[in-house]
Amino acid sequence: MACNVKTWFALVATLSLLANLTPLVFGEPQVSCFFIFGDSLVDNGNNNDLDTTAKANYAPYGVDFPDGPTGRFSNGRNMADIIAELLGFDKYIPPFATASDQEILMGVNYGSGGAGIRDETGSQLGARISLNHQLLNHQTTMSRLALLLGSEEAAADYLSQCLYYVGMGSNDYINNYLVPQYYPTSRMYTPKQYATVLIKQYSQQIKTLYKYGARNVALPGLGLIGCTPAEMATYGTNGSACVDVVNKDVAHFNDELSLLVDELNNNLTDAKFAYVNITEISIGDPSAVGITVTNAACCVPSSTMGKGQCVPNLVPCSNPGNYSFWDAFHPTDTANVFMAAGAYSAMTPLLSVLKLGSDEGTSIL
């Protein structure tokens, strides 16, 4: 389901005024727990101790985050953090790598930089936690919850009331299909065939999560990968604003994901799935939150180790709030506010299903 544009812009306007205000004041969370699966767009520290170049636990990452560099691929918060704020949580959802027993009651963030739907995706970067492995980690969390709550049945009932956000697929293009020097997939499949192969595997993974008790699942599509500074530098734009051929490749995935969400809702009638149209959100007007630079990174991106990520310890631009991109791939805190507002709006049907009170804490007001 696409986001309600009017609601989204109202959220953006509110968030643009509140983005830099601290401390945040929260109401009661709208959901009991929030589980996040994904890649570097939501990773908040799971890759920190892995042998990989896909990590962000060094300056200048985190320059605008209260705890400094934490593993978030941004100058500040990532999308998952801001969605958690909008849901009313008074703390950010903890990474699986460090979550304590009590913390997992509010949910877990399994996101891992470089991870994909396909297990081999991102392997040239080093270690990463693929979606299949994230699902295994969720099984571990389920066992821990069963011990905390007294039984598997109690844990299953608790998990059925949680909200799930599963955002995967970007790396299956950026760190697989679009790098033929490392992977054969672009020689094996046309763009449309590749999207079909990805969605077929993704479908099974989402159904596995359903078997694990997930009943309220947001599935964001992919953003305009061809508009990232990294892809524009690699391919050139031929006078266009972005790399059109890359965006067309990714559009096949989004089309099929939207159809998959319809299929899941038709076949798994005791659950609710919501498609989050990230592309539609991306083409909105970012000036609503003060963004004026959309084609360059704020930090100095590396051309070697962790290509496209910030060069360690170099001074970034002085006005990150005016930039869409922190490094050559990942959004700034301000851009994440913009994207999270649209994602939250698209997730409204899931919150309705969870029978949430409209007077509970619904924003970061």
What is the per-residue pLDDT across 306-323, written as a single tens digit (0 to 9) for each? 789 999 999 999 999 999
Tell me the percentage of the chain whose pLDDT exceeds 90: 85
Asked if 318 is an active-site residue, the reply is no
Q: In the prediction, which pLDDT does 5 show?
A: 38
Residue with tokens 């705890």: 67
User: 39, 43, 172, 327: which is the annotated catalytic residue?
Assistant: 327
Taking alpha carbons only, the member of 129, 109, 131, 128 closest to residue 118 is 131
Is 293 in a helix, a strand, or coil? strand
Confidence grade of residue 26 (pLDDT, cut at 50, 70, 90): low
Distance, CA of 104 to CA of 113 (rounded, Å): 21
Read off the pLDDT of each residue in 178-188 and give the average, rounded to a whole number.
98
Asked if 285 is an active-site residue, the reply is no
Asked if 40 is an active-site residue, the reply is yes
Spans of all domains in the chain: 31-356
Distance, CA of 4 to CA of 215 (rounded, Å): 22
User: 16, 40, 112, 170: which is the annotated catalytic residue?
Assistant: 40
What is the per-residue pLDDT across 276-292, written as a single tens digit (0 to 9) for each? 999 998 877 888 889 99
The model's pTM is 0.91
CATH code for the part of the protein at 31-356? 3.40.50.1110
Give the tokens for residue 332: 């700034």
What is the per-residue pLDDT across 114-138, written as a single tens digit (0 to 9) for each? 999 999 999 999 999 999 999 999 9
User: 252, 330, 345, 363: which is the annotated catalytic residue?
Assistant: 330
State the alpha helices, DSSP H only, in the chain: 5-18, 79-86, 131-149, 152-159, 170-172, 185-188, 191-211, 229-235, 244-267, 278-282, 333-346, 348-353
Backbone angles phi, psi at 302, to 5 degrees: -75, 145
